[in-house]
Amino acid sequence: MSILVGRETRLVVHGITGREGEFHAQQMQDYGTNIVAGVTPGKGGQRALHGTVPVFDTVAQAIHATGANTSVLYVPAAAAPDSILEAVTEGVKTVFCITEGIPALDMLRVVEVVREYGARLVGPNCPGATSPGRAKVGIIPGSIHREGSVGVVSRSGTLTYEAVQAMTDAGIGQSTCIGIGGDPIIGTNHTDVLKLFAEDPETDAIVLIGEIGGSAEEDAAAWAAEHMADVPKVAFIAGRTAPEGKRMGHAGAIISGGSGTAAAKVTALENAGFLVAETPTEIPALLRRAGVS
């Protein structure tokens, strides 16, 4: 079993005829993801990915014709909010927004509508998700993965890649890897993903990758302490040397008013039973120490 993406995924790619959309759609299809449709306004009736995927003018047309249940967005920031809303109002239950640079005020409205429709938004500004050997949605390289039982949730794309590659090199496989995005307003947080992993019978251990800013990691630690006490748990927090008031990398990675510090997050995670790595490459050794074989 996997969470959010898997063999049951029927994917529609928003912006499939654009440079980024076409490139990553091909990578996803090559990995085995079932891409059933693409959407580019004005290019309906064409076919993408060497003629294997029909292109539609609207998401509604794509869903009604193909039964798509998952969306991934490779569209400009100005178009992304409406693209997300179009997907969820037409019945898509899982939307991955790879697009970055969407204003936070726009996302406040979008996230509320997504919740009203009972859908799930991952992102924006996220790398997507991979269930090794089953499907990948987004921009995470498929080659770094190995099938296994460790669930990975991360705010950072590149740190996800580094940690997953280190795990794979050490012979430790993953059940699902999810990058939730580093913007201040996102649709799915660490705790949301931990809840999904807790219900997945094929996820036996957790890797949580966070960074400075906000309280999402502390909230996830508190939930895990209560609900995943016996599950092997490893974490890494980026930005330990970041100065207060200066944004580091992601828009949400900023320490303000003494909150959101790496030290506070590390303490909360350790108190919840996580082994906290000093570097991403230390994660496999800590997983072994936690009992992951």
Residues 17-50 have pLDDT tens digits of 999 999 999 999 999 999 999 999 999 999 999 9
What's the pLDDT at 239? 72
Respond yes or no on whether the N-terminal peptide bond of residue 81 is cis (omega within 30° of 0).
no
Distances (CA, A) of 125 to 131, 188, 198, 230: 19, 12, 25, 32
* 250 catalytically annotated: yes
Out of 107-116, 134-143, 172-181, 245-254, least confident range? 245-254
Predicted structure pTM score: 0.93
CA distance 43 to 51: 14
Q: Which two tokens stand for residue 150?
A: 């460790």
Spot the catalytic one: 14, 145, 190, 250.
250
Residues in contact with 247: Cβ distance below 8 Å, sequence separation at least 6, in sequence order: 253, 254
Q: Which domains does the chain have, with CATH numbers?
A: 11-122 (3.40.50.720), 141-289 (3.40.50.261)
Contact in structure between 88 and 114 (CB atoms under 8 Å): yes
Which pLDDT band, with edges at 50, 70 and 90, does 253 fall under?
very low
pLDDT at 245 over 60: no
